[in-house]
Structure 1
Amino acid sequence: MRTILSAAALAATMVLATPTAVAEPETYVIDDEHFSMSFEVSHIGYAPVMGMFREVEGKFQYDEETKQLTSGTLTFKSKSVFTNHNKRDDHLRKDDFLNSSEFPDITFEVTDFETTGNNTGIVTGDLTLLGKTRPVDVDVTLNKSAEYPIGHEDYTLGMTAETTIKRSDWGMTYGLDEDLVGDEVRLRFGLEAVRESGWL
């Protein structure tokens, strides 16, 4: 009897001594039906022109327990630019701006992440535009993470983010000398991303 109790005690000790499983990053896929990306740039100093890209895809890896974003990629189709003005949109797709025929994709590749608060952080990534790649910092806020209440009902993260870039850093200089088009471009994002294990 004593031998049995000793064996049981040893087994219990081994279980208690086993390290707790470490959480790992999970993959989230951006829901393109719930993704918004807007840009804003000054027009001759009078007012900002606002626009968006209608086609985007991407995924990222995020560990909710440690609040670490470990990797991710966003791809925008440059030809999908939209400012609610056909003539202007056609111009934006040409060589003066996005040169969509030669550079159909605009990509953002995550390279680093820094937590700044309970639900905020700074994502650093490489933005490739017009064939040039430069680092960009993006302020990110995690709005909500939970099982989705309608539709697919899978675990979903909701985020907002924003940053400001200078388009001339990527060689887009049309209208700068005459101050027709501003150099600074404000970018804002709102997105929902679904945990891959549940969605796919």
Structure 2
Amino acid sequence: MLAAIPLATLPALAQAEMARYELDASHTAIYFTVEHIGYAKTLGIFPGVEGSFDYDAETNELGEVSVTIAATSVDTFHEGRNEHVREADFLDVANHPEITFTANGGTASSDTEGTVEGELTILGETRPVTLDVTLNKAAEYPFGHKRFTLGLSMQTSVQRSEFGMTYGVENGMVGDTVDIRIETEAMRMD
């Protein structure tokens, strides 16, 4: 049957099953760790996040990913440190109130694992980033909205100096490598 379909129509058929998913803010956590003077890693979270993407659950095809993080929402569980992280030494939230991530696809390595290559923008600097993604569960939500929901775990690491955030790097006070973890539930919107 597929042999009778012109090859030019195959991309359109693959796109036909794409559904729009939105991140459930109440079940999304973006958190990071960064080394502090070599003693331990400091933990921080960004509770202010919204995002969406297109996904075909049958083919594992991903498209049009867009995530916006409110840089002002950063919380490191210490008010003095929070204020410093919001200042020009780090996130400069007065001039750069948002962090964004966009992508136009991903690569599945199995039914539950893959990567998403996209662009992360911090402090007005955009750099390529690859997220390692695990699909934890894909099913109708058992209560409440009853929508088809994806449970996802993602991780990546970035060098903050590549975004112009160099405070404390040369003297070893604050690490350059920032490990990022994301846990989310994304709801199908149609």
TM-score normalized by the length of structure 1: 0.87
SS at match of 1:140: strand
The match for 1:166 is 159
Aligned to 2:108: 115
| Structure 1 residue aligned with 2:9 | none
The equivalent of 2:144 in structure 1 is 151
The 2-side partners of 1:156 and 1:176 are apart by 40
Matching residue of 1:142 = 135
Provide the C-alpha distance between the structure 1 equivalents of 2:86 and 2:5, rounded to a whole number of angstroms. 58
Structure 1 pair 18/125, CA: closer, same or farther in 2 (3 Å)? closer
1:31 aligns with 2:57: no
The question of whether the paired residues in 2 share the 8 Å contact of 1:111 and 1:126 is answered with no
Query: What's the counterpart of residue 7 of structure 1?
Result: none
Deviations 1:132-185 (A, max 9, x none): 101000000111111100111111111000001100010100001110000000
What are the residue-to-residue correspondences of 1:10-159 with 2, within 5 Å? 23-159=16-152
Number of aligned positions between the proteins: 181
Matched, 1:194 2:187: yes
Structure 1, residues 25-53: CA drift from partner, whole Å, max 9, x if none? 11001100000111000000000000100
Q: Percent identity?
A: 46
SS at match of 2:175: coil
Structure-2 separation of matches of 1:24 and 1:64: 8
Per the TM alignment, residue 111 of structure 1 is displaced from its structure 2 partner at its CA by 3.3
Which residue matches 2:176? 183
Consecutive unaligned residues of structure 2, counting only runs of 5 or more, are: 7-12
Instruction: Quote the Cα distance in structure 2 between the aligned partners of 1:72 and 1:52.
Output: 21
User: How far 1:54 moved relative to its partner?
Assistant: 1.1
For structure 1, the residue ranges without an aligned partner over 5 or more in a row are 1-16
Kindly indicate whether the alpha-carbon contact (under 8 Å) linking 2:62 and 2:104 is maintained by their aligned counterparts in 1. no
Once the two structures are TM-superposed, the CA of residue 18 in structure 1 deviates from its matched residue by: 8.7
